[in-house]
């Protein structure tokens, strides 16, 4: 039997009620929400009852999804399912670091709260747009980006999907160029141009915050969004760089499979990563673990 990977979902999948079923059913999940509320008292309420408008604000989205992701991972662990390695998409990587004991849950939660504040501020001060490009290769997408100023591939999601950050002024012309090349371009409803140079100030602010944060060696491999390889070397630099660097999700999945993973479990909110994984490597098994019923299906 091959290895199991937990993968932690990122920003964009949030909805009112997320994590509640898991918290109702699992003592480990409840403890995670209690930890979050002890530091940021509104977290559980926002997850369970928050409005869509409230939850889409980055300062709320990031701590809420982090908590729901980590709660689901601990509920899975409580049920007897443990991973051999972990990874997280964007924000999800901070939850992966906590699960791998590189940071305590409290330290990771405080870090993600600061990360959300810094990215929200950078998005308002350096506004941009994001576009999902489909039906053409990442290489072709890169070629189109090169024709525009301040336009960058930022999420390498699958062989046929790359997300691009650009300026609001260039967005429509970029979408037209993608269509002309035979692809499909879908503008995304996001609050900033994440994982790009638009986030340079947020990355610098996070580096300053982490001067007083100590990282431990990972208890199990954590694959970095920046390198697509397990964390090694300067952990703080990888966390800082992740904010303004592309998420190399396709490469992470391919590297995990090459390292023996044949079962992926998306912990937390939504099923976006499950869909991407099955498109990247159709032969692996991919599950989502968002509710107690999902856990029962995985164990069956």
Residues with active-site annotation? 90, 195
The DSSP symbol for 26 reads: -
Q: How many CB atoms lie within 10 A of CB 180?
A: 9
d(CA 29, CA 20): 9
Give the residue carrying structure tokens 């697509």. Answer: 228
Question: Partners of 99 in the beta sheet?
Answer: none
* Helix count and strand count (H, E) for the chain: 14, 9
Per-residue DSSP letter, 216: P
Dihedral sign for Cα 120, 274, 158, 247, please: positive
Sequence-distant (6+) residues with CB within 8 A of 174 are 131, 144, 145, 148, 151, 164, 166, 185
Q: φ, ψ for residue 17 (rounded to 5)? A: 105, -5
Enter the DSSP assignment of 213.
Answer: -
Pairing of strands 161-166, 152-158: antiparallel
Residue 176 token pair = 């037209």
> Which two tokens mark 281?
């490597």
């Amino acid at each position: 039997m091959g290895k199991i990977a937990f993968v932690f979902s990122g920003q964009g999948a949030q909805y009112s009620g997320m994590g509640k079923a898991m918290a109702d059913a699992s003592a480990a999940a409840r403890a995670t929400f209690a930890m979050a509320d002890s530091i940021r008292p509104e977290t559980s309420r926002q997850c369970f009852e928050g409005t869509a408008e409230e939850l889409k604000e980055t300062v709320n989205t990031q701590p809420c999804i982090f908590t729901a992701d980590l709660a689901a991972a601990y509920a899975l662990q409580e049920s007897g399912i443990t991973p051999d390695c972990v990874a997280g998409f964007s924000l999800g990587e901070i939850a992966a670091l906590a699960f791998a004991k590189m940071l305590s849950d409290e330290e990771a939660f405080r870090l993600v709260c600061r990360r959300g504040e810094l990215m929200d501020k950078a998005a308002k001060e350096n506004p941009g747009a994001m576009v999902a490009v489909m039906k053409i290769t990442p290489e072709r997408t890169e070629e189109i980006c090169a024709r525009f100023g301040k336009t960058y591939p930022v999420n390498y999601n699958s062989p046929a999907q790359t997300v691009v950050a650009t300026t609001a002024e260039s967005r429509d012309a970029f979408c037209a160029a993608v269509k002309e090349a035979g692809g499909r371009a879908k503008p995304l409803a996001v609050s900033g141009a994440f994982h790009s140079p638009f986030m340079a100030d947020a990355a610098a602010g996070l580096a300053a915050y982490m001067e007083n944060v100590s990282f431990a060696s990972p208890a199990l491999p954590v694959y970095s969004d920046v390198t697509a390889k397990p964390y090694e070397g300067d952990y703080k630099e990888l966390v800082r760089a992740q904010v303004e660097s592309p998420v190399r999700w396709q490469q992470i999945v391919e590297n995990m499979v090459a390292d023996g993973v044949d079962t992926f479990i998306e912990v937390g909110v939504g099923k976006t990563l499950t869909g991407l994984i099955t498109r990247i490597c159709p032969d692996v098994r991919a599950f989502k673990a968002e509710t107690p019923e999902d856990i029962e299906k995985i164990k069956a």
